[in-house]
Structure 1
Amino acid sequence: MTPYATAPADSGPTGWFSKSEAWLDSKGKGAWIAAMVLGFVFFWPVGLALLFYMIWSKRMFNKSCSRRRSNHLRRAHVMNPTGNSAFDAYRQDTLRRLEDEQRSFETFLERLRDAKDKAEFDQFMDERAHKAAEERNAPLDA
């Protein structure tokens, strides 16, 4: 048997790279950018290599999948039944009430924005009418 057959799958030159890549992916895009900047600061070819790798692997322009996945798992966990029917009913009622409050608050904000827009428009129209009246009443100098 060869000595390579007993070595773990993640050891060797690609093992540290895979671990580093997974760690940076778990931290998000900011960690990739920080690693790239540090690479440029300490040894510019490393920063350049990280930049090219980020562009080639499309990490530069995509949103972080790990963050979206963790948010999705967190939301899914909230909706799982706990086995306690009283608590599940209370949680559903509370979530429904909070959603209703959020909807009513959003409609309030929309009405508030509409009222502000109307007030600004009315002020603009009043100023425009005032200027037109001043121009009509101004003596003609000829």
Structure 2
Amino acid sequence: MNTLTAWVGRSRDWLDDRGRAAWIAAMVIGFILFWPIGLALLFYIIWSKRMRCEHWGRRARDFRTRDFGKTGNTAFDAYREETLRRLEEEREAFTSFLDQLRAAKDKAEFDQFMASRSQPAPQAG
């Protein structure tokens, strides 16, 4: 059993060294040979996140968390700070507006539900 575990580990490392295409090829070959092997490989690839893209969403996250230091030009730095402050205030106001819209929609739906419950059910017949 120990040699089987070692062989599986070496195979995994070998496929990892060759990248996603090797994993996909192994899965396709597994499906061709015996479909449960291909299915097992597919589940393993998904479970182990072998196909995960390392850079997915990284650019946007880096941009949001990036520290835009001072440029040395005090007029530009002041303008940038004021613009960022104003944009943050607008974002907060817009978020508040959306919350009010959702609350109004929820209230209207609830009022409609309560109105429909207070009406007597139509008689069949």
| TM-score, normalised with respect to structure 1 | 0.50
CA RMSD of aligned residues (A): 3.8
Report sequence identity in percent: 46
Amino acid at match of 2:60: N
* Aligned equivalent of 1:85, options 74, 90, 94: 74
Q: Counterpart of 1:59? A: 50
Structure 1 residues without counterparts, runs of 5 or longer: 1-13, 22-31, 136-142
Amino acid at match of 1:90: Y
Structure 2: which amino acid aligns with 1:124? F
Residue 125 of structure 1 corresponds to 114
Count of residues in correspondence between the two structures: 100
Larger radius of gyration: 1
1:1-142 correspondence to structure 2 within 5 Å: 21=19, 32=20, 36=24, 39=25, 44-45=28-29, 54=45, 58-60=49-51, 64-77=53-66, 79-131=68-120
Deviation readout 1:38-73 (Å, 9 max, x if unpaired): x48xx933996x95884586334x5x4323543343
Q: For residue 59 of structure 1, give the secondary structure of its aligned residue in structure 2.
A: coil
Mark the runs of 5 or more structure 2 residues left unpaired by the alignment. 1-13, 32-37
Could you state the TM-score of these two structures normalised by the residue count of structure 2?
Answer: 0.55
